[in-house]
Structure 1
Amino acid sequence: MKSRTVIFCAKKIITMNRSRPFATHVAVRDGRILAAGTLEEVSGWGDATVDNTFADKILMPGFVEGHAHLLEGSMWEHVYVGYFDRCDPDGKVWPGLKSIDDVVARLAEAARELEDPAQPLLAWGFDPIFFGDGPRMGAHDLDRVSAQRPVVILHMSNHLLNVNRATLARVGIDRHTAIDGVPKDENGDPSGELQEFAAMFPVFQLLSETVGFSFGENKNAAWNFANIARRVGITTSTDLANPLTETGVANLRAATDDPAFPIRLIPAFAPLLFKGQEGPAHLKAVCEHNTDKLRFGLVKLVLDGSIQGFTARLRWPHYYRNPGNTGTSGNGLWLLPPSEVASQIASYHREGFQVHMHTNGDEASEVAIEAVSQVLTTHPRQGHRHTLQHAQLVDIAMLRRMRELGMCANFFSNHIYYWGDAHYAKTLGPERAQRMNAAASALHCGVPFGMHSDAPVTPLGPLFTAWCAVNRRTSSGRVLGEEERITVADALHAITLGTAWTLKMDQDIGSIECGKFADFAVLEDDPLAVSPEHLKDVRVWGTVIGGQVMPAHKA
């Protein structure tokens, strides 16, 4: 039976194809693009049905989210206690909380609704950096919520936790616990703040056993995440840290095998529980499950923590205003020791995998770049595209070296809006804060890059991410690093073909041209016609994935 050809008509098609940047029609067959151009130009492929659904709309390549987590699809099962207003998947706006007392009050209200007095209460989105220079939240604050049930708050960055004394007792953390990342109070007892994975791991184990918390491995999380992504124009997204357990992989297959699943998913393997060659062997086996909608093959290594959590690794002169909770070194925490970075990269590089490295601080980025250089000296390989994720403080010298080595960057542009003021005044100081997420410098140096939200750290929304890179405005309205602004056209490239390149998916997605998947973002407004200040306000009608129309809001 001959496949059906559909020609979608649009007011304007922004193709991201350099040889044909704009079109009015796109022909689709078997889920892929036959041609884009005028109606006459795309009609030569035989009988076709012309679909005018988008005749008054703008089509773009489906947006590509290069750093997000399926946690975005499950965190709303728990209590939001963030500083900024945030909209849940049902459209309800949860007001941001402006004091620790406000956080305690919301948690106390949620605790009263739990019948089991021993059930842990999990909340998320908190960040103490927004609460001035007073005392940080301690275990005694959360004891006001409950002295019996465990109370756990996952920070907005996902790099720290706050817990009450009941939680500390339940997981066996006390004054004798010798883990870097467990600050002590003036009496020598744990303060209730736990920093980074080693310190947080016992709490995650408790939550997994009691409330079913996981890092987005369950099928419902994938569906919830995908539906949020669809509403903001995303057709391909990473899950950029997944343990890829047998159950987790099976759940991802079950979700993505459903024809109605609205995005393509690219999980990145987080090899925390594997040693030596066990990790590459496991990933190689998992790649047998690859499909058009589910693609394995990325590896995620985490070198340092978060700048706003004071756990990122910074070069001298380190932190601008050190709050005294930055690990034993006074300069953040190494989550992967520098001495092990090259060997970790090499084990996956040799097997042909692509490595993505979380590096927030410039010291961490420098270590990662040097490690890639060492690996390439011993094991030369063209087209590896190893990528620095966040790369928030890379400078010109590092960018030039990245270009020489064939590396990519994926910038956390949303960071400028949410934490720019804090970085200017508290963590980095004015000069370094000005060059954060240096997209213009990356363009100048020829380093391929994408941009991301790191959801649930910040909300999914590629057009907002593009707006951040174009305008570089903080939440207070300060322009942070005017010289690092990029054009709207360059920002749109970054959230489509640019990010696709960093994922080694540019042969299939990122532009509207012959042979690629028929994945489109459908917009009500032309992002190239609105003022740069209003780029974030461009309305998303929905998406098309593999030629299947996916309205943002189903009737």
Structure 2
Amino acid sequence: MKHIFYLLLLTLTFYGCKDNSTTIKIEREAQATEEKAQLFFNGDILTMASETPRYAEAIVEHNGKIVFVGSKADAEKSYENAKYVDLKGRTLLPGFVDPHSHFGMVSNTMGQVDLNPEPVGEIKNIKDIIDALKTYKKENNIADGEWIFGWGYDDGQLAEKRHPNKNDIDKALLNNPVYLQHTSGHMGVANSMGLSEMDVSASSKSPNGGSIVRFPNSKVPSGLVQETAMYPFVRHMLEELSNKQAEFFDTTQHYYASNGITTAQDGMTDRNTIAFFQSQADGGKLDIDLIALAGYSELDSNIQDSTLHFKTYKNGFKVQGTKIVADGSPQGKTAYFSKPYLTEVPGCYHNCRGLPSLTQDALNTLFVTAYNNKNQLFIHCNGDATVDMVIAAHEKACKTLNEPLDKDRRTIVIHAQFSRKDQLEAFVKYNMEPSFFTNHAYFWGDVHTENLGKERANFLSPMATALQLGLKPTNHTDATVTPIDPIFTIWTAVNRLSRSGVIIGENERIAPYNALQAITTNAAYELFDEHLKGTLENGKLADFVILDKNPLKVEPMAIKEILVMETIKEGVAIYEKK
């Protein structure tokens, strides 16, 4: 969901939840030389290899790949010397394939103040934010003049129902530059010293595609910077925190593994970070596979750079395609809609429909360049007006290049949260696919209903309609906008309950099996990995997740209580729960 400079929100609360678990790191060299096959049995082995649930009695792994799926008797005949792994009634699935998150920025959040609201954090009001900032400065011995960064505040969940402003922060930290990132990743708030450090003043003009929000009836910045106006702040923040990236790399991938993920994604990656990821991979430090989406601002030079390994894994890492950010966030009221928001939008006073991040001409040019170079596109779109722009850019590029509209490019519309049915029909016609975000139903469903009305809110991430039309939608966490927890995405897709317990779009609820497809089969397909991952079939990688219960056999509301017991990457356990 984020631009390359959008800070991701990793909740240390969720790291704390792993205290009773242990991760097991085994070097890939040991895995490669392992010769004894492993025979898994006595559990629900759900293959995900068909449109309806299909189980196998046994599955055999050998040298990192699946070599048998079928009956236990046949497995024993073919693999007499195999090591037996008793599942003890647990459920074995393909390892989860992350459809969209931001792995690369996760480590940066560890050097910041956690300002998340419940249930992720503890912030209830602006006073809590101020207290957290003061405590952080004191406990970390931060001197006057040093930057302090916070992340995860959500104005919609604060008691005041507004953003903090520079005056609020100045009361506590007048002598430190401060920048606080909104939970959406599309805006943030700076105090007076922070604004001064970044040369933002009353005379500053808002950049194209962004806004420096002012106090009412004034030119004085309130501290809130939205979309492109926040980029300098976040760029500076990432520079300040970049030394944490290597320090927490291993912790980050084990955090993913502890949630059953065997293939992670970094949803928008600059050249330096791509080089860092490749160096980690080449050094044998990847326990999971990692896929990067290169940033669109470097599209031309990236295409010319043969070292990026587009679409091809090298030591567990690949750059799959290019990420474009086309609008903002619905909860931040910067997503671009065809009809106005129903509630007040900060800094906007007429026909407030949000902001496109790019002009139509700029988007068209990116599509033509990418399509001409067979570069897969992933476009961040939340509002329906932005989806219209993407469809128009697709049509323009195909016409310019004289290529079929339905060529198998697998252009992915990331989030696609408020796509209309006619737009989903266009996806079918043009061979495009959506990657939805049903966690919004829980975290911001009530907010969307208020800001957009019931009709639009109820068609949020319309997975049921997409499936009925024949699409292969995925469903992501956009971590750490919401926490890495694929099980929770199943729960939100199946139940679509908001924080207040309201069903957000009952007709768009889907079956648990379809929700599993969105993080296994369909996720592999959208990333051109269906020959390697996503199902339990002979010849594919032995990437498994073992759950304590079967999502298809528990009550829908109990799905979120299911635990990841073990994660296996190419036959090697990389996480085990005590």
After TM superposition, the score normalised by the length of structure 2 is: 0.88
Paired amino acid for 2:68: A
- Which of 122, 126, 148 pairs up with 1:121? 148
Deviations 1:287-308 (A, max 9, x none): 1783251121221000000011
Paired amino acid for 2:338: R
Residues 541 and 256 (structure 1 numbering): CA distance in 2 closer, same or farther, change over 3 Å? farther
Tell me the CA shift for residue 53 of structure 1.
4.5
SS at match of 1:35: strand
Q: How do 1:178-189 and structure 2 match up within 5 A?
A: 178-179=205-206, 180-186=210-216, 187-189=218-220
Deviations 1:105-145 (A, max 9, x none): 11111122333211111110011122366553211011022
User: Residue in 2 aligned with 1:333?
Assistant: 355
Relative contact order (alpha carbons < 8 A, sep ≥ 6): 1 or 2 greater?
Answer: 2
Q: 1:219–1:252: 8 Å Cα contact kept in structure 2?
A: no
SS at match of 1:491: helix
Q: 2:345–2:352: 8 Å Cα contact kept in structure 1?
A: no
User: Residue in 2 aligned with 1:349?
Assistant: 371
User: Residue in 1 aligned with 2:106?
Assistant: 72
Residues 233 and 205 (structure 1 numbering): CA distance in 2 closer, same or farther, change over 3 Å? closer
User: Residue in 1 aligned with 2:203?
Assistant: 176
Q: 1:10–1:58: 8 Å Cα contact kept in structure 2?
A: no
Paired amino acid for 1:105: D
Matching of residue 472 in structure 1 with residue 496 in structure 2: yes
Q: 1:17–1:511: 8 Å Cα contact kept in structure 2?
A: yes
**d(CA) in 2 for partners of 1:430 and 1:77?**
39
User: Residue in 2 aligned with 1:538?
Assistant: 562
Tell me the CA shift for residue 104 of structure 1.
0.8
**d(CA) in 2 for partners of 1:56 and 1:471?**
26
Q: How do 1:20-169 and structure 2 match up within 5 A?
A: 21-43=54-76, 45-70=78-103, 71-86=105-120, 95-113=121-139, 114-131=141-158, 135-169=162-196
Residues 47 and 253 (structure 1 numbering): CA distance in 2 closer, same or farther, change over 3 Å? farther
Residues 327 and 159 (structure 1 numbering): CA distance in 2 closer, same or farther, change over 3 Å? farther
Tell me the CA shift for residue 55 of structure 1.
3.7
Q: 2:125–2:158: 8 Å Cα contact kept in structure 1?
A: yes
**d(CA) in 1 for partners of 2:80 and 2:348?**
66
Tell me the CA shift for residue 4 of structure 1.
3.4
Q: 1:388–1:408: 8 Å Cα contact kept in structure 2?
A: yes
Unaligned runs of 5+ in 1: 87-94
Matching of residue 5 in structure 1 with residue 37 in structure 2: yes
Paired amino acid for 1:478: V
- Which of 351, 367, 391 pairs up with 1:369? 391
Deviations 1:163-214 (A, max 9, x none): 1000001110001111241011133111100101x311222343244x3248
Q: Identity of paired residues, percent?
A: 26
**d(CA) in 2 for partners of 1:371 and 1:254?**
35
Residues 10 and 354 (structure 1 numbering): CA distance in 2 closer, same or farther, change over 3 Å? farther
Q: 1:301–1:357: 8 Å Cα contact kept in structure 2?
A: yes
SS at match of 1:544: strand
Deviations 1:504-554 (A, max 9, x none): 11111111001111001111111111011111111110211001012344x
User: Residue in 2 aligned with 1:89?
Assistant: none
Paired amino acid for 1:402: F
SS at match of 1:96: coil
- Which of 304, 309, 313 pairs up with 2:332? 309
Q: 2:254–2:575: 8 Å Cα contact kept in structure 1?
A: no
- Which of 433, 436, 440 pairs up with 1:411? 436
Q: 1:73–1:223: 8 Å Cα contact kept in structure 2?
A: no
SS at match of 2:241: coil
Residues 48 and 328 (structure 1 numbering): CA distance in 2 closer, same or farther, change over 3 Å? farther
SS at match of 2:296: coil
Q: 2:134–2:172: 8 Å Cα contact kept in structure 1?
A: yes
Paired amino acid for 1:212: L
**d(CA) in 1 for partners of 2:149 and 2:286?**
28
Q: 2:441–2:492: 8 Å Cα contact kept in structure 1?
A: yes
**d(CA) in 1 for partners of 2:360 and 2:350?**
16
Tell me the CA shift for residue 338 of structure 1.
1.8
Q: How do 1:209-228 and structure 2 match up within 5 A?
A: 209=239, 211-213=240-242, 218-228=245-255
User: Residue in 2 aligned with 1:547?
Assistant: 571
User: Residue in 2 aligned with 1:269?
Assistant: 294
Residues 524 and 260 (structure 1 numbering): CA distance in 2 closer, same or farther, change over 3 Å? farther
- Which of 318, 323, 336 pairs up with 1:295? 318
User: Residue in 2 aligned with 1:17?
Assistant: 49
Tell me the CA shift for residue 44 of structure 1.
5.5
After TM superposition, the score normalised by the length of structure 1 is: 0.91
Q: 1:308–1:422: 8 Å Cα contact kept in structure 2?
A: yes
RMSD: 2.2
